[in-house]
Chain A
């Protein structure tokens, strides 16, 4: 299985800050990487697919980059609704795996 490791596991930030979350794959996965946001008590929501493509309806302050083994999710100008848990997920092979999640809390 391809292991996905996110860092940090948790972080705190303030409204208006810029934050970056990293996801590392245990082997090269090209750009087969997606990002999801899960607000407390809700179902996850797709943010970014194919490493850098913004899902329709997702605010442009979210962006993704990377290829191979290292990927980042960047959120510019944090808004109150962005405080949530974020997951990366690989689809390089059909045994999909998620990262362990990064909890973004209000400072």
Chain B
């Protein structure tokens, strides 16, 4: 069974940076991290889900896509040798306060869906 564990959350002042990590395990279940696109979703307190962005696997150039609300401030990267995905968050704003979830992103004929979720890590942006 694939498991994802997010880490790196915490309290940060507006304008500062934070890097979240998502570590995958369970490769003996047939899951190959390097073949999987990885995705981030966030949820502000008491609110719904908001997609943040994703990174394709290296076969697709490890290219990235981002929501408009984070473009230019957030960067997703990956370390396939250690099965870790990262979310680098710069110029943080109070409205970035949320639980951040890492997910795998699978597809059927490019119909993408978020099939495995981590438990999330909390980011609070406040002075």
Contacts and interface: CB of A to CB of B under 8 A. Distances in A.
Interface of A: 1, 31-32, 34, 36, 38, 42-46, 49-50, 53, 55, 87, 89, 91, 94-101
Chain A contact residues: helix, strand, loop or mixed: loop
Given A43-B101, A44-B101, A50-B108, A34 B49 contact: no
A43 to B, nearest CB: 4
B67 A89 contact: no
Interface of B: 41, 48-51, 54, 65, 67-68, 101, 107-108, 111-115, 117-120
Contacts of A95: 51, 65, 67-68
A91 B113 contact: yes
A36 B114 contact: yes
A90 to B, nearest CB: 10
A102 B59 CA distance: 37
Contacts of A31: 111
A13 B120 CA distance: 29
Contacts of B111: 31-32, 49-50, 91
A18 to B, nearest CB: 25
Q: Which 8 A-B pairs have the closest CB atoms?
A: A49-B113, A91-B112, A96-B51, A43-B117, A34-B113, A101-B48, A94-B65, A98-B49
Contacts of A55: 115
A57 to B, nearest CB: 10
A22 B122 CA distance: 30
Contacts of A45: 117
Nearest to B6: A43
A50 B113 contact: yes
